[in-house]
Amino acid sequence: MKIGTLVGLNRFPVKSMRPEKLERVDVTWNGLHGDRQYAFVKSANRSRFPWLTGRDLFPLVLHTASYQDPEAPRTSPVRVTAPDGWEGALDDPELTARLSDAAGEEVHLIQMSRGTFDLMPISVVTEGTEAAIDAAHGSGVGLGRFRINLVLRTEDPAMRETDWFGATLVIGEGPGAVRLRTDAPVLRCAMVTIDPDTAVQDVSVLRTVAQGFDNCVGAYCTPESIGTIELGAPVWLETGRLPS
Of the candidates 218, 210, 160, 146, the residue with the CA atom closest to the CA atom of residue 186? 218
Of the candidates 130, 176, 180, 181, the residue with the CA atom closest to the CA atom of residue 151? 130
State the DSSP H helix or E strand holding residue 150, giving kind and residue range, or none if neither.
Answer: strand 150-154
Identity of the amino acid at 132: A
Domain count for the chain: 1
Q: What does the alpha-carbon distance between residue 188 and residue 170 come to, in Å, rounded to a whole number? A: 26
Give a yes or no: residue 204 inside a domain: yes
Q: Which residues contact 59 (CB under 8 A, 6 or more apart)?
A: 83, 102, 199
Give a yes or no: residue 244 inside a domain: no
Identity of the amino acid at 59: P
pLDDT per residue as tens digits for the range 172-200: 999 999 999 999 999 999 999 999 999 99
Give a yes or no: residue 22 inside a domain: yes
Model pTM? 0.94
Asked whether the predicted pLDDT for residue 244 surpasses 50, the reply is: no
Range of the domain at 184: 2-238
Q: Residue 173 is part of a domain; what is its CATH number?
A: 2.40.33.20
Rounded mean pLDDT of 22-34?
96
Q: What does the alpha-carbon distance between residue 100 and residue 97 come to, in Å, rounded to a whole number? A: 5
Three-class SS state of 83: coil
- Strand order of the β-sheet with 31-32 is 31-32, 24-28, 227-230
Give a yes or no: residue 243 inside a domain: no
pLDDT per residue as tens digits for the range 98-132: 999 999 999 999 999 888 888 889 999 999 999 99
Evaluated on CA atoms 212, 215, 218, 219, the torsion sign reads: negative
Give a yes or no: residue 169 inside a domain: yes
Q: What does the alpha-carbon distance between residue 75 and residue 64 come to, in Å, rounded to a whole number? A: 19
Residue 100's φ and ψ, nearest 5 degrees, are: -65, -45
